[in-house]
Structure 1
Amino acid sequence: MSDRKNLLYRLITATFFIPSFIIIALKGGVQFLILIELGIFIGTFEFYDILRAKGMKPYKKVGIIVSIILGLTAYFQSYVFTYFIFTLLVFLLSISELFRKELDRAINHMSTTIFGILYVSWLFSHLILLRELPTITGQQYGIGATYVLLPFFIGWGYDTGGYFIGRKFGKKKLLQRVSPSKTWAGAIGGLVVSTIFLFAYQKIFHLDYLTNFDVIMLAIFGSILAQIGDLVESLIKRDAKIKDSATYIPGHGGVLDRFDSILFVTPFVYYYLRFFAAR
């Protein structure tokens, strides 16, 4: 597919997705929970399919079920239940391996199952934590929608700057052995555009809980994490020798292809707001 046609597909998909996501984020509650749980389900499914392409055999059904339950624990903010689920998971995987025929790959089976849960569900669930954060801080519930959009403005800004500035000025490779298309110019451009996007978001929507210093910190560290998230998924796909995690999102690939940077940015935004900005 040509770059121009791929970009067109991306824009069409974004035109549908962005308004729908914002509407559901504004509503919050169970509707937002269902949306994120859907993303967790598909993303975890994709990850385990990538592992199977590599010849690994994670406990796919167990991993998907636990991933969905983790999303619920984030919604109800039940930290004790989270510990319970992980404890039960360790017990279940350990016992299952005792009765599995392939004794020589026990560590591989268990570790890949657990990493899939952590990589997709644990990180993705922070979107739910962000939306429900006002229930902890005592602020109006609706403000949670503005929290949820923060990592997306960082990610969108970084992707936009990285794509256009990288294509125009990119020469020196960032980490060629992992992702040959990533350049230092793209990384710097992504940071600049991400900062602009975030300042525009702050000013237009009057986000009084963010100071200019907060915006700069979120943009800098968020952009770094966006790049790391992108590179990590590239590393996983390169190891499995596949181009995309899936093909059902036109111009984007799969859920992991589209949200690779968001997976890493969202937890940072949540903990930054939780500890510094939205107290």
Structure 2
Amino acid sequence: MKTFFTRTASALVFVAIMLGGILWSPFTFFLLFFLVSFFALQEFFKLMRLIDPDYAGITSWHKYGILIGSCALFMAFTGQHFAFGGFSLGYLGWCIAVIFMLVLPIGEILLSPGFSLKNIGYSALGLVYVTLPLALLVHIRLNDAAIHFTAINIGTGPGWLIPLLLIAFIWINDTMAYIVGSLIGRTPFFPAISPKKTTEGSVGGMILAIAAAGVYGHYWGQHLLALQHWLALAGIAAFFGTAGDLLESKLKRMAGVKDSGRIMPGHGGFLDRFDSLLLAAPFAWIYVQFFML
């Protein structure tokens, strides 16, 4: 019972922080996912150190340099939206990112007693797996003026709509997959990675998430998004969200840990909470670029 109340309380706090950050303003949206990216990246590197102990031997130059580079890359995707003193946050981010890409490898070669391309690869993978997807989510949020939200391409919807829908559809997919799997699940989905997942639950969760998006989009949401966008975003969230969850489960299994961190009592770490979003966000960004601009 104590565990239940702990999980419930931490979940409520998590939801409040997420909604506040997403809905309050463009800057709070940026700040929220900037922090998520920063801490999730550190959890990813912790998993890498457990998977390959050689990565634990990287220099402080490498360790802190990659975090600075990650922050700079994230800032770069804000473009011209946050300006101060004649410089935008995006411009500053690109400058630091370019310097980072030039200086960090050189410093690694000179300062590391045992230079390893493999360790640089792990760090680069962290930027691609964690930082880039969340930066693309911020890019969607900040460039809402260019997105054709309505079916007849007039006006613009709220910038937070697409990111919030992705998160909502992922949650619906996860919840429905759990319910369907509990009721009729018999066939293991990926038993070597996640023994509790079933094919029936996973497929059922995807179908119900898309169905829920279709029903809401048809009856109440067409003034915001055309029906095909509701269905497509739900499909992206369900399919790639499930793949993202399996990917992080595979990393944790390789590292020999149950959770990526302990930031949320009863819910694990940042990677545990955002693993599905990390894989769904890039494909949502691609969809927006090709079909909603």
One fold, TM greater than 0.5?
yes
Deviation at 1:16, TM superposition (A): 2.4
Q: 1:132 aligns with which of 142, 150, 159?
A: 142
More helix by share: 1
User: Displacement of 1:143 after TM fit?
Assistant: 0.7
* Post-superposition CA distance 1:161-197 (Å, at most 9, x none): 1222222222211122222222101211211232244
Tell me, in whole angstroms, the C-alpha distance in 1 between the residues paired with 2:13 and 2:219: 22
Shift of 1:91: 2.8
Maintained 8 Å contact 1:8/1:251: no
Matched length: 274
The residue correspondences of 1:227-238 to structure 2 (distance < 5 A) are 227-238=242-253
Aligned match of 1:45: 42
Residue aligning to 1:17: 14
> Aligned letter for 1:67?
S
Q: What SS is found at the alignment partner of 2:197?
A: strand
Give 2:131's aligned amino acid: S
Q: From 226, 232, 237, give the equivalent of 1:211.
A: 226
1:267 counterpart SS class: helix
1:67 aligns with 2:78: no
Correspondence 1:34 to 2:31: yes
Q: Is the 8 A contact 1:48 1:60 kept in 2?
A: no
Kept in 2: contact 1:45–1:60 (CA 8 A): no
What residue in structure 2 maps to residue 98 of structure 1?
109
Aligned counterparts of 2:223 and 2:286: Cα–Cα separation in 1? 18
- Once residues 96 and 145 of structure 2 are traced to their aligned partners in structure 1, the CA distance between those partners, rounded to angstroms, is 23
Task: Please tell me whether the aligned partners of residues 73 and 94 of structure 2 are also in contact (alpha carbons under 8 angstroms).
Answer: no
Q: Which residue of 1 aligns with 2:260?
A: 245
Match of 2:167? 152
Q: Please say if residues 157 and 194 of structure 1, whose CA atoms lie closer than 8 Å, have aligned partners that are also in contact.
A: yes
TM-superposed CA distance for 1:249, in Å, is 0.7
Q: Deviations over 1:234-273 (max 9, x none)?
A: 1111111111100121222001001100111122222222
Report the secondary structure of 1:275's partner residue.
helix
Q: Pairwise CA RMSD of aligned residues? A: 2.8
- TM-score, reference length from structure 1: 0.85
Structure 1 residues 167 and 245: CA distance shift in structure 2, 3 A? same
Q: Which one-letter code corresponds to 2:201 in the other structure?
A: G
1:160 Cα offset (Å): 0.5
Q: Distance in 2 between matches of 1:202 and 1:5?
A: 39
**CA–CA separation in structure 1 for the residues paired with 2:41 and 2:156:** 29
* Structure 1: unaligned runs, 5 residues or longer: none
Letter in 1 for 2:109: L
1:262–1:8 distance in 2 versus 1, CA, 3 Å? farther
Counterpart of 2:186 in 1: which secondary structure?
Answer: coil
Matched residue SS, 1:181: strand
Partner Cα separation in structure 2 for residue 161 and residue 229 of structure 1: 17
Gaps of 5+ in 2: 81-88, 150-154
CA distance in 1, matches of 2:2, 2:241: 25
Residue 163 (structure 1) aligns with: 178
Q: Which residue in 1 is equivalent to 2:124?
A: 114
Instruction: Give 2:39's aligned amino acid.
Output: I
C-alpha change, 1:5 and 1:177, in structure 2 (3 Å) is farther
| Deviation at residue 82 of structure 1 after TM alignment | 7.2
Q: Give the deviation of 1:222 after TM superposition.
A: 2.5
Deviates more, 1:14-23 or 1:138-147: 138-147
Check 1:175–1:221 CA distance in 2 against 1; reply closer, same or farther (3 A cut). same
Asked if structure 2 preserves the Cα contact closer than 8 Å seen for 1:47 and 1:116, the reply is: yes
Report the CA distance between 1:85 and its aligned residue. Answer: 5.6
Which of 192, 196, 201 is equivalent to 1:177?
A: 192
Deviation at 1:200, TM superposition (A): 5.5
> CA separation of 1:247/1:23 partners in 2, compared to 1, >3 Å: closer, same or farther?
closer
